[in-house]
Each structure stands twice: as C-alpha cells, then as structure tokens.
A and B are shown apart, each in its own frame.
Chain A
Amino acid sequence: MSAHHSTMVAEGADRWLVREELHAQPGTMLGFWLYLMSDCLIFACLFAMYGVVGGNYAAGPSPKDLFELPLVAVNTAMLLFSSITYGFAMIEMQRRRVNATIGWLAVTGLFGLAFLGIELYEFHHLIHEGAGPQRSAFLSAFFTLVGTHGLHVSFGIVWLVTLIVQLKRWGLTDGTRRRLACLSMFWHFLDLIWIGVFTYVYLMGVLR
C-alpha cells in the first residue's frame, strides 16, 4: 500500500520535474552585492554627516588651508590603477592562468598599499599640524568619512593577501574563483566611493 502510494506520488511529481538543464546561480554573488549596497548606505550616512557639519570649522582651519590637491590626485591615480590591475587579474583568472592572476593581484595590492601610505601620511601631517579629528566638527566628519574608506581598503588588502595564499595552495577552484569575483566587486566599489570622496570632500572643499 505504502509502496503503491509512493509510486503514485512519484508519477504525479514527475509532471513538475524540470526537463532542461538547471542553470541555477549560487546566491553568493547576489548576497555579496546586497552587502555592498548596505555598505553604500553606511557611506551615504557619513557623506550626509560631512555635508551637514563640513562647514563648522570652530574657528579652526578650513579645507582650503589643509588639503593638498596634488597629493589627492596622486592618491586617486593609485586607486584607479589598482582598479585596472584587478581587472587584469580577473581576465587572467578567466584564462585559468594562476601565476598571472597572482601577479596582477600582487600589483593591485601594492597600489592599494601606496594609496594607504599616502592617506596615512596625510592624516599624520594633519594631526601634526593640530588639525586632528578633535579640532572641529568639520575635521571629525572628515576623519570619519575618509578613515572609514581607508579602513575598507585595509581590509580589502588583507583579503587580497589571503586570496593570494589560497590561490597558491589550491589554484583556481570554483571556490577561489568565486572569492576573487567577490573581492573584485568590493575593490571596484571602494574606487566608486572614492570618486564621491575626492569630488565632494576635497575638490568641493577647496572650492568652498
């Protein structure tokens, strides 16, 4: 009776079976995209905060006194170069060339480190001049916004080094390829946020 029943169910269920090949995509890429969007909201709040209090200098220095645009331009170039070299790493990944992928990842990491180095130099310089985060609302907002971006880049570099180690150990498996694609989105997303930072904070700050 129960056997008969189960065959009945199986025959009935047969109608609902998908005959063509399944093309289900794993949810990782979509989930990571949703994470990036929520990260985007964090930056939106920080931008809004900077927009609101960015003019409150508390009789302290203004962006015009502090920011050195040539340095910011070099920094922007570092991040842009790191974006294209990560793109090259992704292309090598598609060609299944492990060593070339690792090489471009290393170059990307070096550009990222250069970006961080310049940013830390700028922060150190500002704090040394007495324009630290505690000086005025403008500087608090500035250090929070730019520092959060810098922190993201730092974690991106940690992730990048981890991936280089994983690639050396396991090669281009489905797992490492997926992680590379996620980091690619993360890295390009950070470059996108930086467009907002250099336009809104630095360029418009000097114009103000």
Chain B
Amino acid sequence: MSAADVNKASASADFVHGHNEPHGHDDAHDDGIPHASFKDYLIGFLLSVLLTAVPFWLVMGDVLPSKLVTTAVIVAFAVAQMLVHIVYFLHLDTRSQGGWNMLAAIFTVVLVVITIAGSLWVMFHMNENMMPMSPHEMRIAP
C-alpha cells in the first residue's frame, strides 16, 4: 500500500465519520437530502400566507367587479403559490439528483396540463355538440 493510498483511506474514514458529527455542514448534499435553511422556509411561509389570504379575501369580500377577472386572478395566485412551494419547501432545482428531479417534474407538468386541459376541452365540446333534450325527455330522464 502506498502512502497515497493510506492517505486516501484515512480521508474516506473521516468522510464516513463526518456523518455522525454533531454539526456536519459539508455533508448536506452527499446523501441527496436537500439542505434546508430557516430563511428559505420563512420566505416560503410568508409568501404562501400572502398568496392564500388574497384569493380568499377576493372571493369572500366580493372585491373585483367581474367573476371572470376574480377567477383569473385566483388561478394566477394558485400557480404562483405552487411555484413558491416547489422552490422553498420541496427544494426543487436543476442541480438536485443531477437534474433528474427537474426532468421528471417537467414531464409530469406536461402530462397534468394535457390531462386537465384536454379533458375540459373535449368534454366542453361534447356538451356543445349534444342534441338538445326536449322538455318531455328531460321530465322522464333519470
């Protein structure tokens, strides 16, 4: 065994030992567990409170003049809050797990959008194209 090998062996022993030390900061990324910071959680929480409270206020207080505008605004707030949760709570970034997390997330978002938007689109047009029911048919409908 050369001197270099011995050095390496002791270094890797230190590395393993580092996991059990009371304050290991350098090993935060080695086990794939993202590093959580108090600041991140606080920012995420405060943003979430804001992004939750405003939509509830808009709907309960009947603040905006049209329902369409209110709907658009609360959907925008929901999307923003989901992004806040993904960034500050789920710690998703392009570097975690060598980018595979992000790739899976993007793929999922594409599928989710196709599923929800596609279903609504198709079914809306089905409803439009259905033959209208006569009052008599409606009366005997289950």
Inter-chain contact total with CB atoms closer than 8 Å: 139
A195 lies within 8 A of B81 (CB): yes
Q: Closest CB of chain A to B7's CB: distance in Å?
A: 12
Decide: B90 and A80 in contact? CB cutoff 8 A: no
Shortest distance between the CB of B37 and any CB in chain A (Å): 8
Interface of A is mostly: helix
Q: Are B45 and A83 in contact (CB under 8 A)?
A: yes
Number of interface residues of A (CB under 8 A): 53
The answer to whether A48 and B31 touch across the interface, beta carbons within 8 angstroms, is no
Knowing A29-B97, A96-B22 are in contact, say whether A188-B85 is a contact too (CB < 8 A).
yes
* B38 lies within 8 A of A25 (CB): no
| Residues of chain B at interface, number, CB under 8 A | 57
A-chain residues with CB within 8 Å of residue B116 when the two chains form the complex: 44, 47-48, 51
Contact between A37 and B108, CB atoms less than 8 A apart: yes
Query: Hey, which bits of chain A sit against chain B, CB under 8 A?
Result: 21, 23, 25-26, 28-30, 33-34, 37, 40-41, 44-45, 47-49, 51-52, 69-70, 72-73, 76-77, 80, 83-84, 87-88, 90-91, 94-96, 174, 177-178, 181, 185, 188-189, 191-192, 195-196, 198-200, 203-204, 206-207
